[in-house]
Structure 1
C-alpha cells in the first residue's frame, strides 16, 4: 500500500499509477445480498439455472455491485495521512466493459488524475480500473471523486 503523508505529497502523484489492490472473489452470496439490498433481482444475477443457459453460462455480478467495491479496493492501494475524513463525492465517468461472472477474482488498479482544492477540502479524482483475473477487458473503469478534509 502506498502511504501519502500529506495532501501535498498526494498532489505530487498526479498522473501516477499507484498499484493494485488484493484480489477479491465475488461470490453468489455477495451477488444475492446486493440484489436484496437494491431490489435488482434480474435472473442474470440471481437465477443460476436460467443463467447457465444465458449468454455468460453462469450468473454475473451487477455492474453497480462491482462499482460499490471500488472504495474497499482503492483503500487497499493507497491512503492519505493527516486528514480528518474522506467522503465519496461521486464519479465523473463510469463504464462496465465486461461482465464479472460469479466466483471471479477482481482487483483494482488506481491512478491519481487530479488533486484540487474544493468541497471543503481537496477533491481527488482517481481513475480506478477493476480487472477480472483472466479477463481481456476491464470489468469497470471509473473516474471517482473523493473529498479529503485535512
Structure 2
C-alpha cells in the first residue's frame, strides 16, 4: 500500500487530493463536491504465526531482509478469510507445514508499516519446505527464544510472558 504522504490523487475520481480537517484530524481528501473521498490511512491487517514444532520456535528471514534478521511467519489477511485461517495459510505457503492454532497471542500495532498484526501460536507438523518469499529459516529452542523491540517481536514478548504466567 502506498504511504499516505505519497498519495497525490483521489483513488475514487482522480482529482488532486488536499489536506482537510475531518474528525478533528488533518486528512487527505478529494476537493471535488461530487466525490469528497477521504483517505483515512487505516492500517492493513497482517497475520503472524509463532510456530512451535518439536519443542522449537521456527523463525524466518524473508528475501531482501538484512542478514541476521529473523521474524515470525507473517502475511496479509485476504478478503473473506478469518485471521485463524489466514495464519494457517501463511504457515503452509511459507514453510509447507500443516498446523493448528493453539491460541491467539494478541493484536499489535506496527506503525512503521501502517499494519496491525494479529499473532497466533501455531503448533505445526510436517517437513519444512521453504516458499519463494523466504531466504532462510531457523529453529530456536523455546527456552532460548528472545523477542525484538518491534513488529512481530512484540508478539514473541507477549507469548513468552503468557508462558511464564501459565507456569507460575
| TM-score bin, normalised by smaller chain | under 0.3
Which one has more relative contact order, counting CA pairs under 8 Å at least 6 apart?
1
What is the TM-score normalised by the length of structure 2? 0.25
So what's the TM-score if we normalise by structure 1?
A: 0.27
Q: Which has the larger radius of gyration?
A: 2
